[in-house]
Amino acid sequence: MAHFLTRVLKALCESPLRILLLFFVVLFRSCQYVCVRVLRAERRKSVSGETVLITGASRGIGRCLALEFAKHGADTIVLWGRDEEKLSSVKKEVEDIGTSRCHYYRCDVGDREQVYRTIQKVQEDVGTITILVNNAGVVHGGTLLETKDDKIEETLRVNTLSHFWTTKSVLPSMLARGRGHVVGIASTLGLFALPGVSDYVTSKFSLVGFYESLAAELREQGHRDVGVTCVCPGHTTTDMFKDLTTQPFSLTPQQVAEQTIEAVKTNQRRVILPRVMHLTWILKSWLPGSWMRNVLYVTGAMKDMDNFCAKR
């Protein structure tokens, strides 16, 4: 590690212009963050009275999102998942809070026709969805050559294509009402890649692009009251990543849920968690690829993924 840091410092010292530019980039981003937070704090919106649909709601981040939306006064919460027993348990937890009505539906979001049928059923039973949270996801682990074709297809259907299908289904009613919010739970692996999960990384990179494009489309069409938020959490201690060695900046599902609702209230387009991961994103743009790889080794990310894949 000492040798690596010496190389980095030496290279930076040989290029003072790069240091200066990096300093101004970090300074600008810091000032931008503070200013945006102050301005948004003055025009926060409420989720009270909203009808919220959450996919992948039977556990982990989805479960915490359901409970947090209930605590913040959402009128109706709709849970989607594949495990009816767990969905029923989350429904009871939501209703015990005493502020929200709750419904659950068994739905495999990787099945397009099932998504469209279930959305229609929800709209008949509940009415218009005003906040959509696309949270469902799968991960398998393995290099490209180790991963079977059906697993690759499942990852892309569940992690990426389902966001297209659900959003296409609820967006027209949001536009007609002139308000609404679409949230996508992506990953920091949608900002930089690690080996051993190429299908997962591809699906998350796609999501970051999808939500950036969707936000641009709505903005250009004048639909500024329909919000779009892409949340990129780092390693989160959920069952999905239980085989991953705990990292120094690990998040809990509760932390991700709280920050997601804060992002909806302040209409943030992209949220990177934890905040320190902003630095990694900046470094990726400035450091040569081989150096960035060394950074990931130093932080333990590479080793963690090796251990994760070995246990799958």
What are the boundaries of each domain within the chain?
1-43, 45-310
What span, in angstroms and rounded, lies between the C-alpha atoms of 231 and 290?
Answer: 27
DSSP for residue 129: -
What average pLDDT does the structure give for the chain?
86
Q: Tell me what pLDDT residue 126 has.
A: 97
Please determine, for residue 217, whether its predicted confidence score (pLDDT) is greater than 80. yes
pLDDT of residue 236: 86
Query: How large is the average pLDDT for residues 137-141?
Result: 93
Q: Residue 21 — very low, low, confident or very high, per pLDDT cuts 50/70/90?
A: low
DSSP 78: E
275 vs 156, more confident? 156
**Which one of the listed residues 104, 105, 200, 211 is annotated catalytic?**
200
- CATH class held by domain 45-310: alpha beta
Contact at 8 Å (CB) between 291 and 158?
no
Average pLDDT over residues 281-290: 70
CA distance 281 to 5: 18
Residue 173 has pLDDT above 70, yes or no: yes
Report, as an integer, the average pLDDT of 195-216: 96
What value, to the nearest 5°, has the Cα angle with vertex 287 and ends 281 and 290?
A: 110
Q: Pick the closest to residue 264 from 44, 51, 57, 99 (CA basis).
A: 44
More confident residue, 184 or 197: 184
Q: What percent of the chain has pLDDT over 90?
A: 64
200 noted as active-site residue: yes
178, pLDDT greater than 90: yes
DSSP labels for 48-63?
Answer: TT-EEEESS-SSHHHH
Query: What six digits make up the tokens of 274?
Result: 């934890």
What is the per-residue pLDDT for 1?
46
Amino acid at 173: S
DSSP per-residue string spanning 53-110: EESS-SSHHHHHHHHHHHHTT-SEEEEEES-HHHHHHHHHHHHHHSS-EEEEEE--TT
Q: Band the pLDDT of 4: cuts 50, 70, 90.
A: very low
DSSP state of 173: H
Q: Is the pLDDT of residue 163 over 50?
A: yes
How high is the pLDDT of residue 31? 61
Nearest to 88 by CA among 76, 75, 105, 71: 105
Q: What integer is the mean pLDDT of 11-26?
A: 53
Q: Which residues contact 97 (CB under 8 A, 6 or more apart)?
A: 67, 70, 71
Among 270, 266, 273, 269, which Cα is nearest to 47's?
A: 266
